[in-house]
Amino acid sequence: MVTPLDWHAIKERFLTFAYNWVEATPSMAEIKATLETFDWEQASPIAIGSILQSIMQPQARRQLGAHYTDETNILKLVGPPFLDELRNEFERVKTKPKQLFALLAVLTTCPLSIDSEGVMRHSGRD
């Protein structure tokens, strides 16, 4: 069973991480304050990875094993077992309304969805 993403928990973990691992500077204090009011349901994993990579101290990154992976490389891993199968299924049923709606029903009951570019997104359902 797939569990929906808990954006409040993600926010709390991110803030805890920021307070524990990010170097204390005046600009970082401003960034941390901004993080507290950020709308995490609109957060892009790409942006979060980039932010973490840019604000972490190198020693902390090494200690935590925190290495950002870009979207292209993630899709190389996720594509074959998940996205490729969905794309193939869509191609098979796209001209068959009954089967297409059945596939749509399956996809819309998932807490995650895949956009037209093949990017997995949180559907916004709780």
Instruction: Quote the CA–CA distance of 67 and 62 in Å, as a whole number.
Output: 8
Q: Where are the domains of the chain?
A: 7-64, 71-122
What Rg do the C-alpha atoms of the chain give, in angstroms? 18
| This prediction's pTM | 0.35
**φ and ψ at 43, to 5 degrees?**
-70, 135
Residue 125 is predicted with a pLDDT of 46
Helices and strands (DSSP H and E) totals, the chain: 7, 2
Label residue 91 by pLDDT band (50, 70, 90): very high
pLDDT 10s digits, 15-34: 777 667 666 677 777 777 77
- Closest by CA to 93, choosing from 82, 103, 83, is 103
pLDDT at 121 over 70: no
pLDDT at 2 over 50: no
pLDDT at 7 over 70: no
Instruction: Quote the CA–CA distance of 59 and 64 in Å, as a whole number.
Output: 9
Q: What is the mean pLDDT of residues 39-47?
A: 72
Residue 117 is predicted with a pLDDT of 64
